[in-house]
A and B are shown apart, each in its own frame.
Chain A
Amino acid sequence: MSEVIAADPAPPADTPAPDEPPPPVRPVPFRRRRSPLRARLRRDWPLLVMVAPGVLLLAVFHYLPALGNVVAFQDYNPYLGDGALSALVASPFIGLGNFRELFSDPAFWDAFWNTLAITAFQLVFFFPLPIALAILLDSIMSGRLRGFVQTVVYLPHFFSWVLVVTFFVQMLGGAGLLSQELRDAGITPPAIMTNPHTFIVLVTAESVWKDLGWGTIVFLAALAAVDPNLYEASAVDGAGRGRRLWHITLPALRPVIVLLLILRLGDALSVGFEQFLLQRDAVGRQAAEVLDTFVYHHAIATGDYGFGAAAGLFKALVGLVLILAANKLAHLLGERGVYSRT
């Protein structure tokens, strides 16, 4: 990498080395801590003004109703008292009762580990694919062809899960294309759609088909931000295709990759809902129960709102821990991550 940078007059500012000293020219010392509050306010008030509309919108439409999550600590009955709000006051507080109920249910832990396993599997076998496809698309010279391919591959994102699963059934199911061909050839078709042991592969394949193209969009935008002079300089220096990919393209994508990875981890306990409900009977609960389906059956369908809210808060907590841990790891690796320390 040093070789490439040495050849280039302006180092790529978007991939700073971890211990890089700050650039010499810094007229406004943002890094200086403990400056008097008033001075910081004078300097930063425009930034605060900019953030204000977002803060306000979220306060009203997100945090205010999110206060309702207090029912996680209640034996909540929405119909107590003489109004929706007085029901919150009238419902008895039971401390961590809902959480105790959650954690003592073995079915919850089954769903929990299932969900994490699917997330881990998809991080390895799904997450890198949009990056690869984005790089591949980016290398297509003809703008028209590139546009066509990109437009086509991102459309399945808008299909419902019922339709996606139906397509898979039509291709791989027992009455599907593959099975009929095998039958004609005298071979007993394998049970692809109903095998609980390979279900994790199946749901990942379905997700890949649905969202591969959609996932490339952010990476394509990131690739557009790469300085073409870097490639040229590197090529002039004799770096081949592979070296340029390794030393320029991937480092340029790295901040976005890390960011999306962290955000995905924050959502680690959500792997889908409808997709799993549809195929639940086909492979059984053992394979297809994930946290969201568990909560649906246990809380939503039975009207146990307090239990549902407790499960939601647990998800949030796990997500927070995973985000912070991944963020920390990113810092250790010299990445900015999603949440900077300074």
Chain B
Amino acid sequence: MTTMTPRRRHPARPAWEEEPGVATRAAKGTVLTLVVLAVLVPLWVVLLTSVSSRESINDAGGLVVVPRKLDLSAYAIIFSGGQISKALLVSTLVTVAGTALSLVVTVLAAYGLSRPGSLLQRGLLFYFLLTFLIYPGLVPQYLVVTGLGLKDSLWALILPSAVSVFNLVVVRAFFQNIPGELLDSARIDGAGEFRILWQIVLPLSKAVIAVVGLFYAVGYWNTWFNALLYIDDNEKFPIQRVLQGYILAGQAPQTSGTVSVALPPALAIKMAVVVVTVLPIALVYPFIQRHFTRGVIVGAVKG
């Protein structure tokens, strides 16, 4: 680093902001580098192990750190099953439909509960909060879902987890931080609550909607236990339920003689499953982050 010569200002840095000192920069750089390395190295190990041959895994005694002989058979076996494409479709459907439904319900409820003093507000808020504490048991939930005829229906993967009170409370907190004058002036102009929510609150809340949308989407994408309980039809398995099967491959109790072919090493399959799970999530994040832009609220107040 050429710290002696004055550095070029970063174009994104506002004019009023002073350039950080050398010590600050160094400290920041060190912390970030450490944090990133602490994650990148294990990620690298996972990726490498997933493409390692049996020999490399044996030599490493497990997770592979240094690349040796590469072998893509773990991915080949996951994708050759033919189930993955179907499961991806199911999971995409569940994630898109579920996230949309959850966001609508959550945003509406969060706004409906964001006005202290409104009718029943306290009681309803308590009604929501209590679900954060008291959980239903497995068997009663199974009875309700199957009783509604949702067995082997993708709705069974969506409806039981459609409302997260954590997410609701977070959205509500952000709504409450929107300057009251904005809403009041709209009200003077005769706007109804739905219009205020749609035209004023939502445009100002893109960041938190993005965040909560991510939380919901990740939840639906990773849905697995509900699939175990409610989906018996293999054609309707979501991706995590299918991938789980590959993790277990080769762990069957030895029963009857099957002449085994050269399956890839179990560890490589496990790591390939991790990669296949994490990759779509990593790809989605930049789209979420786009909404973390400064100054939306200010613009609205001024405008």
Contacts and interface: CB of A to CB of B under 8 A. Distances in A.
Interface string B93-127: 00000000000111011011101111111101111
Contacts of A104: none
B177 interface: yes
B105 A53 contact: yes
Contacts of A313: 134
A14 interface: yes
A68 B40 contact: no
A51 B170 contact: no
Nearest to B160: A61
Which among A231, A241, A305, A340 has the highest number of chain B CB atoms within 10 Å?
A340
A186 interface: no
Main secondary structure of the interface of B (DSSP, over half): helix
A140 B204 CA distance: 23
Interface residues of A, number: 110
Which among A25, A62, A212 has the highest number of chain B CB atoms within 10 Å?
A62
Interface stretch (A40-48, A89-97, A114-122, A276-284): A40-48
A63 to B, nearest CB: 7
B108 A54 contact: yes
Interface string B20-35: 1000100010011001
Contact of B289 (A13, A37, A150, A316): A150
A137 B114 CA distance: 30
A23 B184 CA distance: 11
B180 interface: yes
B180 A13 contact: yes
Interface residues of B, number: 108
Interface string A210-251: 001100011011111111110110011000110000000000
Nearest to B40: A152
B57 interface: no
Given A27-B184, A44-B118, A312 B14 contact: no
A133 B207 contact: no
B4 interface: no
A153 interface: yes
Contacts of A151: 282, 285-286, 289
Contacts of A140: 32
Contacts of A227: 295, 297-298
Contacts of B163: 54, 57-58, 62
A268 B138 CA distance: 22
Contacts of B210: 221
A309 interface: yes
Interface string A127-166: 0000001001001111100110111111110111001001
B113 A64 contact: no
8 contacts: A14-B179, A30-B116, A44-B120, A60-B148, A67-B140, A136-B31, A166-B62, A229-B298
The 8 lowest CB-CB distance pairs between A and B, nearest first, are A68-B140, A65-B136, A50-B112, A54-B109, A65-B140, A46-B193, A13-B179, A51-B112
Interface of B: 10, 12-14, 16-18, 20, 24, 28, 31-32, 35-36, 38-40, 42-43, 45-46, 62-63, 104-106, 108-109, 111-113, 115-122, 124-137, 139-141, 143-145, 148, 159-160, 162-163, 166, 168-170, 173-174, 176-181, 184-185, 187-188, 192-194, 197, 207-208, 210-211, 214, 218, 222, 274, 277-278, 281-282, 285-286, 289, 291-298, 301
